[in-house]
Amino acid sequence: MGAFSRQKFFQELAHGCLLPTAQQGLEQVWQLLVICLLCRLLWMLGLPSFVKHLGTVAGGFYTLYLFFELHMIWVVLLSLLCYLFLFLCRHSTIRGTFLSITVLIYLLLGELHMMDTTNWHKMRGSQMVVAMKAISLAFDLDRGVVASVPSPIEFMGYIYFVGTVIFGPWISFNSYKEALEGRKLSFSWLLKVSVSWVKSQVCLVISNCVAPYLFPYFIPVYGDKLLRSKKRRKIRGTPAKWLLAYENTMSFHFSNYFVGYLSETTATLAGAGFTEEKDNLKWDMAVSKPLNIEFPRSMVEVVTSWNLPMSRFLNTYVFKSALKFGTFSAIMVTYTASALLHGLSFHLGAVLISLGFITYIEHVLRKRLAAIFNACVLSKKCQANCTHRNKKGLWVYMINIAFSALAILHLTYLGSVFNSSVDYMEEDEDDITHHTIQKWSELSWTSHWVTFGCWILYRLLL
């Protein structure tokens, strides 16, 4: 949508952006949704387990071909490599660590040498889901959570489960086996699928049609000044730069929520994503918590709410394994692992490593303040029965609000590099690096300086 007057913009919004966006979103995934439903119906039949696994593998292969065509072979090669490793090392007790290294080497070699970067990046999400599933299975085998190495058909059924193979989310091997039993169709299942689908489409529309035009049209804090600019990115003035950075951030956030809710839809539609207590079955899969991100208590809350399944994966299989080296080292290993799983992208790596320092320093500073003031000002909200003397005083609320505002500043700063006008799959990595540094330079490296200041304050309070 080009530059319009405010009145013209709202007249063109519906048929110029809203409807085409929703239509394209449905056109791209309707076949995936149908296959997920067929998988769900297949699992409900009283068929042998190997037939269900075969059906899941077939659905996963067809879906991969729909999205990636013959390039899907690289996802298949990764899964075969992982199973070969698990089988050959079936008597080892450190399969998780060695398979993690093997998978990361494969991903790095693939990005650097096996094929062109553009097509590799298109498969990055599926590659990451396959890698996380294989690594989690290896660690579960080491820890006795899974008794023995699955058969090839079980492993492939888990890896290519159609509900998660494209958009995720990560699920454990035991969760897949529980879903394989095939629960009855119910109104709560249909409601969960419908609500998640509607939320995904709303987030897609906001990402494409609202966030990029937030301040010139929806919230005209600068009047018509932003409308008159032919190139809004060249607007001068610190406040305007931060407003444009917030637009980029909001668009990026809602694109993530779109994928999160879409993955909830596909996984639930295919029969996964439930918890069961006695006879009470709840379809309660949650991938993201947008309110915890847009109105955060802390950056720690943001990173855990961004992608809940991946956060559980990193916490269970990376952070806890590295905790023996110390908390700070474990945090940095976790964010480094996340960066490597996401691929060799400077802007992603820079954001994730920065998040590692930001979350650690915020955590230790608030922990120190909570001890000094005996107050509920920790990064995570205190339980109702916590031992802090000061829980609801005005000054306690003010401290927490200050850290919330600081978290929004960090999010705006870090998210400014995810510009919708930059195609990160097509652009050269040197251009992306320059773009990232330029964006942060325009904002005076504020977030990094603030983090450094918080670290100085923490050291002074020790």
Return the HEC string of 405-456.
HHHHHHHHHHHCCCCCCCCCCCCCHHHHHHHHHHHHHHCCCHHHHHHHHHHH
Measured CA to CA, the distance from residue 69 to residue 54 in angstroms comes to: 20
Measured CA to CA, the distance from residue 98 to residue 184 in angstroms comes to: 40
Q: Which residues contact 330 (CB under 8 A, 6 or more apart)?
A: 319, 320, 322, 323
Phi and psi angles of residue 390, each rounded to the nearest 5 degrees, phi first: -100, 110
Q: Residue 81: which of 66, 103, 101 has the closest Cα?
A: 103
Q: Which residues contact 288 (CB under 8 A, 6 or more apart)?
A: 256, 257, 260, 261, 305, 306, 307, 308
**Tokens 């085409």 appear where?**
20
Selecting among 53, 121, 253, 342, the annotated active-site residue is 342
| Residue 347 is a catalytic residue | no
Percentages of the chain per state (helix, strand, coil), in multiples of 5: 75, 0, 25
User: 330-358 as b/e, with b when 16 or more CB fall inside 10 Å?
Assistant: bbbbbbbbbbbbbbbbbbbbbbbebbbbb
Show which residues are catalytic: 342
